[in-house]
Amino acid sequence: MSGITTTTEMSLANSRDDDRAAVCKVMLRFADTPAVITAFAVKLCCGLSALLLFAWLAKVRPRNRTLHINAYNILYAHFIFVLISSFGVVLNDGFDLTRLTLFRREVDYSDGSGDCGIFSMPAKYGVWIRLITFFGNTGSTLTMSALAVERTYATIQSRSYESDNKPCFGRLLVCLAVLVNLGLKTFIAVHINYRRYLPMQSLSAEAAPYATCVLYINTGCEVFNIFVFVTLWISNHKWKKSVGRILATLTHKYQVEENMKSVAIMISLASLHFLINIIAYLIQLYGTWHDETPQEKMEYVIKGDVAPTYDFLLPLLTLCRIYYKKRRDYKCSTSRIVSPVENLSTNDHFNMLNGMFDKALDQNIAKHKRKISGASKTKVDAVKISNPYAQ
């Protein structure tokens, strides 16, 4: 196919809107590049596997929540956005893969011909399908930022946050994340040339600079999320070891414990999200920082888009955690002999909580009492020796 050798000499951005010959050259280049076809296939497998794992997760997920209602709602929205991203990956990469392979027709192609055996994608359809994936990816980042804000508020208001079970704050943060996400996608959509034909389901060249701005915003949010979660963990850990903890209420101590456990989970989740998405963003930004043609930038997007890896790993690791916890709880229930719940009074329950949070403090108090008791006994003995008639 002689037209492939001249692909790098032309630019889709400089071609006419209805120039299918330029689009055909790019599609033939993609179809005959094993790395591009492999990247499409791997992302399609990640998307399909993610959808199956999400269906499994919806069936076995525990009904009782261990997080505050606000954190739970935001985390639930994060999973929904990742699910949307997985659905978009299947539509985008799956359709492009089958279009370049299974649906490809054998034709006598000549350089400059508009028929290469692969049908081109009208932008008025392809870009909207592509924006589904963008909407899911950006939404997962923004909900992670919303979760960082919610955990920050929970740390600041740790004295009374646990007693407030109203989900209004969490829903507000989710709504803000959705609105900002829609605004960013609208910012991209209004700059798309919908009259073009595209070699793959992607944005038109006219919208690339604005999509790059959104990538910068996502990168900043990723860094913000990691910084906030690490700062919160350090802050709660320092408070737990501080002297002021002695005078805190049990509710306050419980909220700090819950903050530490939840933030520890969020740090691992945010780190995975940060690592995968930052790699994807940097690879895509690398293509925009150089003077490659639009079709070469598309190759960076195809081969460097590792974001579907997170779509696959999130439900997989969540399922592993659920089954690990079930197995651990089962072992604990079979190895321990516990008294019936009805025999526990209110005082017993308070003592259990007191022992959970103030075990070290109680030990210090008991040790101090023993010292006072020993000193008093020594003093009495000394008085008796000096005055045998003392009572």
What pLDDT is stored for residue 391 in this prediction? 45
Beta-strand relationship, 197-198 and 121-122: antiparallel
Q: Is residue 225 part of a domain?
A: yes
Q: Is residue 342 part of a domain?
A: no
Query: Alpha-carbon distance 50 to 27, whole Å?
Result: 28
Q: Is residue 353 part of a domain?
A: no
| Same domain as 363, residue 234 | no
| Same domain as 376, residue 298 | no
Query: Alpha-carbon distance 193 to 189, whole Å?
Result: 9
What pLDDT is stored for residue 149 in this prediction? 94
| Same domain as 319, residue 236 | yes
Query: Strand, helix or coil at 177?
Result: helix
DSSP 389: T
| Same domain as 180, residue 148 | yes
Mean residue pLDDT of the chain comes to 79
Q: Is residue 340 part of a domain?
A: no
Q: Is residue 343 part of a domain?
A: no
Q: Is residue 320 part of a domain?
A: yes
pLDDT in tens, 330-380: 777 776 555 454 444 445 555 555 555 555 555 555 665 666 666 555 555
| Same domain as 378, residue 311 | no
The larger pLDDT score, comparing residue 181 to residue 196, is at 181
| Same domain as 367, residue 268 | no
Whether 50 has a pLDDT exceeding 90, the answer reads: yes
pLDDT in tens, 31-44: 888 989 999 999 99
How many domains, the chain? 2
Using an 8 Å Cβ cutoff, are 28 and 112 in contact? Answer: no
Strand partners, 121: 198
What pLDDT is stored for residue 144 in this prediction? 94
| Same domain as 244, residue 144 | yes
What pLDDT is stored for residue 4 in this prediction? 35
| Same domain as 200, residue 161 | yes
Query: How would DSSP label each residue in 97-112?
Result: HHHHTTTPPP----TT
Predicted confidence band at 2 (pLDDT cuts at 50, 70, 90)?
very low
Helical segments of the chain, H only:
20-31, 34-60, 69-100, 123-156, 168-189, 208-240, 250-289, 294-304, 307-335, 346-357, 359-386
pLDDT in tens, 282-305: 887 776 666 566 667 777 778 888
| Same domain as 369, residue 327 | no
Mean pLDDT of 151-175: 84
Query: Alpha-carbon distance 129 to 91, whole Å?
Result: 7
Query: For residue 155, what is the domain's CATH number?
Result: 1.20.1070.10
The parent domain of residue 381 ranges over 358-386
Whether 190 has a pLDDT exceeding 80, the answer reads: yes
Whether 8 has a pLDDT exceeding 50, the answer reads: no
Domain endpoint, select from 295, 320, 335: 335
Mean pLDDT of 266-278: 89
| Same domain as 367, residue 266 | no
Q: Is residue 341 part of a domain?
A: no
Size of the chain, expressed as the number of residues it contains: 391
| Same domain as 374, residue 305 | no
| Same domain as 243, residue 166 | yes
Largest Cα–Cα distance of the chain, in whole Å? 126
Query: How would DSSP label each residue in 117-160?
Result: SSPPEEHHHHHHHHHHHHHHHHHHHHHHHHHHHHHHHHHHTTTT
Alpha carbon of residue 307 to chain centroid: 11
